[in-house]
Structure 1
Amino acid sequence: MVKRKYLTAVLTGFMAISLALAGCSSQSGSSEESQKPKTVTKQKEQTLAKKDGNSLTIAIKDNLVSMDPQDTNDTLSGSIQATMYEGLVGFDKDMKMVPVLAESYEASDDAKVFTFKLKQGIKFHDGTPFNAEAVKVNIDRVANPDNKLKRYSMFALVDKTEAVDEYTFRVTLKEPFGAMLNNFAHPAARIISPKALEEYGKEVSKHPVGTGPFKFAEWDPSDHLTVEKNPDYWEKDLPKVDSIKFKPVPENGARVAMLQTGEADFIYPVPTEQVEAINGKDGIVVENKPSIVARYMTMNSTKKPFNDVKVRQAINYAINKEAFLKVVYRGFGSEMDSIIPAGLQFYSKQKTYQYDLEKAKKLLKEAGYEKGFTTTIWGANNSDAMKAMEFIQQQLGQVGIKVEVVPMEAGTLTDKIWSVQDAKDAGVELYYGGWSSSTGDADWGIRPLLAGDSIPPKSYNVGYYQNEKADQLINAALQTADPEKRQAAYTEVQKMIWEDAPWAPLIVEDTIAGKKNYLEGVYLLPDGSLSAKEAEIKR
């Protein structure tokens, strides 16, 4: 058996190196100065702002979709779930794997059998005990394709689960998968009370019951979700605040105003154009850090004209990625130079598509679209997404592609994109979005977005991209625990998909959050998720 200490070192060693490079990847066509990661100007120590009470308000940019971790596909909802739910393992603030509800864990040498020793004496919010049977119920649920849960693909390899004894859980895979522990550290593996699953069924998405530091209080989908302190939390001296209200505020200016007036104690993201204006004033501290959050535009490769690789490549040449980074994100990030961010394990840098309008026009002419065409781009209705789509609209207009921007709220996007049951019914043409591989591994940065069997509703291949050779490479990387073999497969598949261009990869954004200076213990991880477990108000 491979012991926890050694296995964690193997899985996270690549992360430690690559995360250090996440904000420093080269930007083709950029000046030396523009290649340097932009950082928020540090301010002098301020007097602590005033704060009444011991409760927090956190303003977020999108509406929340679900509180079921096994049926959620957005990082934001997962962040709020993290206050109530916990998994067997997780990530610390540097995305190094750490035990949470597990006391220890180990893997067989062939990476097919994973055994977890569980912590004892922990209870769910409804008073039922946390044990191996509870874990089994959860993993069986998410690994069952009949349940049609959005995170099924992460556990599709599960062959057998066992509650060996009350506090020992074992899972056996159908085939080797060296990144399986990373999947258990993903938010999708957080454990729901079996009693709540039985009582609420699918409605558990509105009635979250976990083991976390906070308990569910109320959810008004049009206004806020509130969690309150769990007085019986198993970790000593936590939590330190009485409650947290999460309030969706899609409009950037309104979100910033809430922080300035004290209506909110923490906001994310901070709009890049307002970072310097608010940092150091009104008791506000703004922090930015490199991330593994990719921003890109997909093209529905089953629809004309996007079924032609020349059109897809033309679009890549027609978008100035350096200008996108400066205009939309004010330089807080780095240009993408592969289909996954540099901060992911097994990343491989590619030769970028230089901004070249003449080359774009030439490719469009060769494809039979010399005069361009008309299309639509779908995306979220928050300020940042709107700005990004309008930038893309302007850029593609230069080569005769007329783009209609169609912003949608989160629930509508879920219905129109990820819930489509048949590819022929998909209305999406272009889609602007983002992805955070919250396992830290190339597998979860590629397979759910670009594998042929990841087409909605199974997973998130919004471009409906299919390439048999690419699928073979993706599967080959899954079937070995050998890092060198996995690297070889991922290197080849990144090159192949980059040239096939089912996307226009854009940038890897920085995480940018603003807080009042009396607040500690709330921060963003490199995957863009929020941790509020250790939230504390300093007096």
Structure 2
Amino acid sequence: MLKKKGIYTLFAGLMILGLLLAGCSNESSGNESSQDAPAKKGNDLTVAVDANFISMDPHDTNDTLSGSAQRTMFQGLFGFGKDMEVVPVLAKDYKVNDDGTVYTFHLKEGITFHDGAPFNAEAVKVNIDRLANPDNHLKRHSLFAMVDSTEAVDEYTVKINLKKPFGAFINNLAHPAGRIISPKALKKYGDEVARNPVGTGPFKFKEWVPGDHLTVAKYDDYWEEDYPKVDKITFEPTPENGSRVAKLQTGAADFIYPVPPEQAKKIDGKNGIEVKAEPSIVVQYLAMNNRKEPFNDVKVRKAINLAINKEAFIKVVKSGFAKPLDSVIAPKTAFYSGQEVYKYNLEKAKQLLKEAGYADGFKTTVWGENNSTSMKGMQFIQQQLAEIGVEVEIVPMETGTMSEKIWSAKPNETELEMYYGGWSPSTGDADWGIRPLLGGKEAFPPQSYNTAYYSNDKVNELISKALLTADPKEREKYYAEMQKIIWDDAPWAFLSVDYTISGKKDYLKGVYLLPDGSLSTHDAKIEQ
């Protein structure tokens, strides 16, 4: 791994470091010293991940990692293929009325939940009604707030009525939040269903020891023939990068993600390890609380953007496995519109701070996750902003603490000043890349994820217009305009579009990361 002094003395050695890292790419390294790894024993799979799981309730989850574990147990009417294309899962087909407000779905038959309850129209109704009810205070309510009512027409036909047309509704149903929970389990466990997940997926819940492991086991009555192909999957939270890599090297884990960028080329091709890196739709950003001084001044926010060298950020923090972020969403997201990147310019940044009344800089804090890669990113930002007199205190947090301090805090009570994080719009659509993060007061935590506490009346109007039409050309026009406005308002420091980087043993097939950073194990199999 990069040594810590590579961060703390960044500028002294940046030219040398840049040369060392310039060759990083998303291609395999072609290591010549490949070593044969010991043969895999048994048919169980171990996956090491970089953080703890928060919830196994897909309706009340706001992190991609928890959603990845949930995917083994739950399914929705629709899902996403390898390239984020919408595919039917529990639905056979659907039709929509002319004004786009009534969706009728025909469901697959003969499917049961892990507790024996039948999957049918009533089960879908129970789930959609749960999500659509604001009184349930579910984290993913906003994805289904447009639902007016749900009707079980017959055993395998369900009708969903919307309050008004919503252009991205099928994409929302394909989102991880649209996964269907057993109504029997919802009734039995109530809020505790988050620790007692019951779905229709290929694996059923076995055990969860927070901070140590989560295990799912093969569901013998799974509805797809010849699936699953492995007997058990154990997820092991391993936040420290070196420990996670060591598990893969020793065979204690069969698959890890993310692979720390600085280790990717070093381990690829050795000990039977294959590393894969691909462009994603995951954006990395630094949100600034637009309601708090000094970040309520756009000059300060633009100064922060100009003071961060995005190319250096990618080389040092991402080891080359990223591209500069040139909009609020990534190029692979539907209706993306690129902007002119804020170029590194310390003198202009200092001038803007002076004009805003902060010629001598100011003190602030940045909150973020406590894993190794996030720490490196925050340390980089700390060093960069010091060059313009901004003194940044890093406050790393475990995921549970972040959930309480950020996602549960009321807007007038939050202590958040800056937040270092990432987002993947897991609908594949611009709506979910923009609305929950920058969609005005309705998106402020705890309702949604607008950690910039950003609200622009024109942007809010354009978001509404884009949702009221299913015409792609109209939606493209609205999203292009709003992306330009947001870019000029600079509620974030726009950092990078990350690559997904995973590592696996060469005997493991069919496990991969989607562009949104989530994991698919549906086709997992072990070949000796």
Whichever residue aligns with residue 308 of structure 1, its letter is: D
Partner residue of 1:255 out of 244, 255, 271 = 244
| 2-structure distance, mates of 1:114, 1:337 | 36
Partner residue of 2:431 out of 443, 447, 453 = 443
1:137 aligns with 2:102: no
Shift of 1:46: 7.3
Q: Secondary structure at the match of 2:317?
A: helix
| 1-structure distance, mates of 2:479, 2:339 | 12
1:307 aligns with 2:316: no
Correspondence for 1:434: 422
Contact 2:29 2:265 in 1 (8 A): yes
Whichever residue aligns with residue 524 of structure 1, its letter is: L
Correspondence for 2:323: 334
Whichever residue aligns with residue 117 of structure 2, its letter is: T
| 1-structure distance, mates of 2:100, 2:407 | 31
Q: How many matched pairs?
A: 508
Deviations 1:491-539 (A, max 9, x none): 1110001110110110011011000111011110011000011111102
Partner residue of 2:154 out of 165, 183, 186 = 165
1:320 aligns with 2:320: no
Whichever residue aligns with residue 517 of structure 1, its letter is: D
Q: Secondary structure at the match of 2:469?
A: coil
| 1-structure distance, mates of 2:231, 2:246 | 24
Compute the TM-score of the two structures, normalised by the length of structure 2: 0.94
Shift of 1:48: 6.6
Q: How does 1:197-346 map to 2 (within 5 A)?
A: 197-346=186-335
Correspondence for 1:180: 169
Contact 2:24 2:320 in 1 (8 A): no
Correspondence for 2:53: 64
| Structure 1 runs not aligned, ≥5 long | 1-29
Correspondence for 2:67: 78
Partner residue of 2:411 out of 403, 412, 423 = 423
| 1-structure distance, mates of 2:187, 2:330 | 40
Correspondence for 1:17: none
Correspondence for 2:6: none
Identity %: 63
Q: Secondary structure at the match of 2:315?
A: helix
Shift of 1:35: 12
| 2-structure distance, mates of 1:195, 1:533 | 25
1:147 aligns with 2:128: no
Partner residue of 2:470 out of 471, 481, 487 = 481
1:126 aligns with 2:124: no
Contact 1:110 1:481 in 2 (8 A): no
RMSD of aligned alpha carbons:
1.6
Contact 1:309 1:500 in 2 (8 A): yes
| 1-structure distance, mates of 2:328, 2:427 | 16
| 1-structure distance, mates of 2:26, 2:274 | 16
Deviations 1:431-459 (A, max 9, x none): 00000001010000000000111001110
| 1-structure distance, mates of 2:267, 2:476 | 43
Contact 1:37 1:334 in 2 (8 A): no
Whichever residue aligns with residue 219 of structure 2, its letter is: N
Contact 2:62 2:139 in 1 (8 A): yes
| 1-structure distance, mates of 2:477, 2:358 | 37
Deviations 1:194-217 (A, max 9, x none): 010001111100000000000000
1:467 aligns with 2:456: yes
Shift of 1:109: 3.0
Contact 1:75 1:529 in 2 (8 A): yes
Whichever residue aligns with residue 152 of structure 1, its letter is: H
Whichever residue aligns with residue 443 of structure 1, its letter is: D
Contact 2:83 2:515 in 1 (8 A): yes
| 2-structure distance, mates of 1:35, 1:454 | 40
Contact 2:29 2:269 in 1 (8 A): no
Contact 1:85 1:210 in 2 (8 A): yes
Deviations 1:237-291 (A, max 9, x none): 0111111100000000000000000000000000111111111111101011110
Correspondence for 1:514: 503
| 1-structure distance, mates of 2:230, 2:500 | 24
Partner residue of 1:530 out of 519, 523, 526 = 519
Whichever residue aligns with residue 309 of structure 1, its letter is: V
Shift of 1:49: 4.2
Compute the TM-score of the two structures, normalised by the length of structure 1: 0.92
Correspondence for 1:395: 384
Q: 1:36 to 1:108 in 2, by over 3 A?
A: farther
